[in-house]
Amino acid sequence: MIKVLVVEDSPVVRELLIHILSADPDIRVISTAHDGEEALEAVRRYRPDVITMDIHMPKMDGLEATRRIMETDPTPIVIVSGSEDPQEVVTTFDAIEAGALAMLRRPAGIGHPDHKATASELVQTVKLMSEVKVVRRWTRTRDTAPAPRSAKMGLARESAQVQIVAIGASTGGPPVLHTILSGLPKDFSVPILIVQHMATGFIHGFVEWLAHSTSLPIHVAMHGEPLFPGHVYMAPDAFQMKVERGGRITLTRDKPEKGLCPSVSCLFRSVAEVYGCNAVAGLLSGMGRDGAEELRLLKEKGAVTFAQDKDSSVVYGMPGEAIKLNAATFVLSPDKIPAVLVNLANHRGKNIDGV
C-alpha cells in the first residue's frame, strides 16, 4: 500500500485528488494539508511514501515546503499545478530544482472529457515515484570550467564533424537539462534539439525557467525555422519534431510513437537520416524506452551517443534501455556531460578528453 499525503489549499481540488487516488487499491491517502506549514508537520507525523504538492498556498507555498521537506525528511514529491501561465510555471520548476521529482497538471474534474486520462496519469506517476527511495539533486555549474583531462574518451572519425546535438528526457530530466545547459559556454558552436516529456501546457514555462540559467538562446521550436549554432530548440506540445536537410526544423502532427508526442524516437530517427555520423545524441532520466533503439541506430551510423548513468537517474528506464542495447558510446553523470559536449563540438576527429 502506497501512503500518500495530499497538500492542496483548495477544498474542491483536495477532494478531487483524494477521490482519484483512493479509487486505486494500491494507494491510501493517509492525510491532507492545507498549506506548507501543515505539510511539514504531516510529513513528520505520518511518514508518507509520496507527497502531491500544490504550489500556490497561504502561510508557506509549495516551493518553500518542498525545500524544507527535502532538507529534513526527503520524500518523493509530485507537483500538481493548476496554472499554465509561464511566469507561474517557473516557480513550479524551481520546486523541481529543489528536489521534487515530477510535475503534473491538475486532473480534470469528473465528467470532463479528459478526466479519465489525467486521473490515470496522476495515479501512475504516484506509483512510479513511490519506488524512488533516494531523491538526488545535482550541483549546477554557472561558470564553465576547463574540461578535466583525466581519461580518454576514444578516437573519433577524422572525417566527421559535429553539426547537431539531440537530447531526449522524461521524468527526472528537467534538473539534468538545467545542469547541462548552464554548463555550456555562450560560444557553444552547435545547435541543440531537445525532446522533454512533460504535461501539456508547461513547456513555455520550462523554457523560461531554463533561460535564467544558460547563456545560450533557448526557444520552443517553430515549424520551418533554421537551426543556428549555439541555439537550443525545445519540442512543443503535441508535435513531432524533426530535422530536414538544409538545417531546418519540421513540426508535424504525426501520430504518437509509444504513446508519446513529441517523441524522442521520432527526433533521433530524423537526426540519424539527415546528419548520421555528424551528430551527438543522448538519453537522460526517464520512464519507458523512448529513443533507445534510435540511439543505437545513431551509434551504428557513426554518431557519438551517451546515456545518463544509473546513480544520478531518478528513473533509469530510457537510459537503461539504451545501455542494454549497447546504444551508448559513453555513460555519463550530468555534471560530466557539458564538458564532453564542448570537447566533441570543438575537437571531433581527435583524441577527446573530458570524462
Residues 65 and 19: beta-carbon distance below 8 Å:
no
* Among 35, 49, 81, 170, the one annotated catalytic: 170
Give the total residue count for the chain: 355
The Cα 301–Cα 271 span in angstroms is 11
Nearest to 165 by CA among 278, 332, 270, 244: 278
The Cα 34–Cα 41 span in angstroms is 11
**Cα–Cα distances in angstroms (integers) from residue 178 to residues 72, 90, 99, 197, 313, in the given order:** 24, 13, 13, 15, 14
Longest dimension (CA), the chain: 63
**Cα–Cα distances in angstroms (integers) from residue 329 to residues 186, 192, 275, 333, in the given order:** 26, 19, 17, 14
> Residue holding cell 524522442?
264
Report CA torsion sign: 73, 123, 205, 344: positive
* Among 54, 81, 197, 285, the one annotated catalytic: 197
Tell me, yes or no, if 197 is annotated catalytic.
yes
Amino acid at the residue 302: G
* Among 9, 61, 290, 309, the one annotated catalytic: 290
3-class state of residue 98 by DSSP: helix
Tell me, yes or no, if 26 is annotated catalytic.
no
> Residue holding cell 557513426?
302
Amino acid at the residue 160: A
Residues 43 and 75: beta-carbon distance below 8 Å:
yes
Catalytic residues: 170, 197, 290
